[in-house]
A = this chain, B = another copy of it.
């Protein structure tokens, strides 16, 4: 037994992450029903059986992917930003720059895609998400400062994140697409 417990754990975690990562891309592009386990396994480059060593079923794998598609980092970023002594417009510029940069990474696009689709499927409305509310807070302040467009802050936040979702979709589906530029993204909220 030349492997230490630690190395062993590492290998298992690596494989699990790999499956999650590759699967989320595949599911995001093809949907649940149109994704065959056999194709998925081939795409990842492992045997079908291997998937079942890490996940009980296709269903469970899918649920795990959805669970991982949280927005904790975005929320933290926005909340931290909100406290800084900057104009709302400047904050929105920072957020936009960050988001556009992150969208270069396909994994991030997948995360945005899955997260947004989750929100759509809960018919509770999109407005209960912390990410939306945090941005709405900044927008509200910006409107008082007079530099942002008028309108319900939550609806504007919704439009903003919706647009981000739009470009995440394009990232995933369209080869050689052109990313929205920062000024256009900011313009959604700016007067």
Interface of A toward B, CB cutoff 8 Å: 30-35, 120-121, 123, 125-126, 149, 151-152, 155-156, 159, 162-163, 165-166, 169-170, 173-178, 180-181, 183-184, 187-188
Contact = CB atoms under 8 A, between A and B. Distances in A.
Contacts of A170: 120, 126
A187 B126 CA distance: 22
Contacts of A34: 31-34
A187 B159 CA distance: 12
A50 to B, nearest CB: 14
Nearest to A184: B151
Given A126-B174, A149-B187, A169 B32 contact: no
A146 to B, nearest CB: 16
Nearest to A155: B178
Of A34, A166, A181, the most chain B CB neighbours within 10 A belong to A166
B31 A174 contact: no
Contacts of A30: 33
Contacts of A188: 187-188
15 contacts: A31-B34, A33-B33, A33-B34, A120-B173, A121-B173, A123-B174, A126-B174, A151-B181, A152-B178, A155-B180, A159-B180, A159-B184, A162-B163, A163-B163, A187-B188
Given A120-B173, A155-B178, A184 B149 contact: yes
